[in-house]
């Protein structure tokens, strides 16, 4: 969560609610969008000096906006692009399949049908998102570049971390990999659907 928050505030100063909204819309399959998780991560980042906070009033409401500090940029630069830790990608939910054989046959079939239905729903959602992203990517890059260029600090931070010479190229790289993440999600769900449908077919045949 700390890494995700640093990624967000590297590109734009944000409130906690703005972070949560972004995570809900774009990263719900990757991490929790609970305010508690975000607040805990923010507290740790503040203690480490990686983010700073500014208070302002908006519509008679006091708000707190967070942005990355020079120390945060230095730390983020040392972390960005490091290999994925495959151990941290493991899920306890997989244990349900491992021990599913303990359940009665009808329960196993119910489990498989329910999960297949959920996967199909998630697949359709991701297809819609990918189609939308494909259509707006160029415009989104242009708008983001214009916004970032209004803040020299954001420009310097982005170019320092990315190693690129222009904001546009750095943003293109970011959007490309966000699209790759969507493609990965679609491919993973397709593979899961094939697998679980195969298992369901076996269960139904054995229970005839």
Task: Return the SS3 of 64.
Answer: strand
How many domains does the chain fold into? 2
Same domain, yes or no: 175 and 104: yes
Q: Which two tokens stand for residue 14?
A: 């944000």
Within the chain, strands assigned E span: 51-58, 61-68
Of 58, 88, 118, which one is at a domain's C-terminal end? 88
Backbone angles phi, psi at 174, to 5 degrees: -60, -50
Same domain, yes or no: 53 and 122: no
CA distance 178 to 151: 23
CA distance 203 to 112: 9
Same domain, yes or no: 177 and 206: yes
Task: Return the SS3 of 55.
Answer: strand
Question: Would you state the pLDDT for residue 18?
Answer: 93
Same domain, yes or no: 128 and 200: yes
Torsion angle defined by CA atoms of residues 168, 169, 170 and 173, in that order, rounded to the nearest 10 degrees: 120
Query: Where would I find the H helices in 80-166?
Result: 94-98, 105-149, 152-162
How distant is the alpha carbon of residue 127 from its chain centre?
16
> Strands 61-68, 51-58: parallel, antiparallel or unpaired by DSSP?
antiparallel
Task: Return the SS3 of 53.
Answer: strand
Same domain, yes or no: 100 and 78: no
Of 40, 67, 88, which one is at a domain's C-terminal end? 88
Question: Would you state the pLDDT for residue 87?
Answer: 67
Same domain, yes or no: 29 and 110: no
Question: Would you state the pLDDT for residue 98?
Answer: 86
Instruction: Give the burial class of 184: count Cβ atoms within 10 A of its Cβ; 0-12 exposed, 13-18 middle, 19 or more buried.
Output: exposed
Task: Return the SS3 of 38.
Answer: helix
CATH of residue 41's domain is 1.10.10.10
Q: Structural domain of residue 188, as residue ranges?
A: 91-208
Q: Which two tokens stand for residue 178?
A: 């966000």
Of 88, 118, 143, which one is at a domain's C-terminal end? 88
**pLDDT, averaged in runs of 10, over the chain (208 residues):** 92 93 80 86 95 89 92 92 71 79 91 94 90 89 95 95 95 93 92 96 81
Same domain, yes or no: 96 and 170: yes
CA distance 201 to 112: 10
The helix (H) or strand (E) run that includes residue 168 is: helix 167-206
Q: Which two tokens stand for residue 193?
A: 């659907």
Same domain, yes or no: 159 and 181: yes
Question: Would you state the pLDDT for residue 93?
Answer: 72
Question: Would you state the pLDDT for residue 90?
Answer: 65
Same domain, yes or no: 160 and 106: yes
Say what the pTM is: 0.81
Same domain, yes or no: 155 and 172: yes
């Amino acid at each position: 969560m700390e890494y995700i928050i640093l990624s967000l505030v590297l590109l734009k100063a944000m409130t906690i609610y703005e972070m949560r909204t972004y995570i809900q819309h774009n990263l719900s399959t990757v991490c929790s969008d609970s305010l508690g998780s975000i607040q805990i991560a923010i507290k740790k980042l503040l203690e480490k000096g990686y983010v700073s906070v500014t208070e302002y009033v908006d519509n008679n409401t006091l708000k707190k906006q967070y942005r990355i500090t020079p120390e945060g940029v230095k730390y983020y630069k040392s972390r960005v692009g490091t290999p994925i830790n495959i151990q941290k990608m493991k899920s306890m939910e997989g244990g349900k399949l491992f021990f599913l054989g303990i359940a009665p046959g009808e329960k196993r079939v119910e489990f498989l049908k329910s999960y297949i239905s959920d996967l199909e729903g998630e697949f359709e959602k991701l297809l819609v998102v990918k189609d939308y992203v494909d259509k707006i990517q160029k415009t989104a890059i242009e708008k983001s570049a214009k916004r970032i260029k209004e803040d020299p600090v954001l420009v310097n931070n982005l170019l320092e971390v990315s190693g690129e010479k222009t904001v546009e190229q750095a943003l293109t790289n970011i959007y490309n990999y966000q699209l790759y993440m969507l493609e990965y999600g679609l491919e993973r769900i397709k593979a899961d659907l094939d697998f679980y449908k195969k298992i369901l077919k076996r269960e139904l045949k054995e229970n005839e």
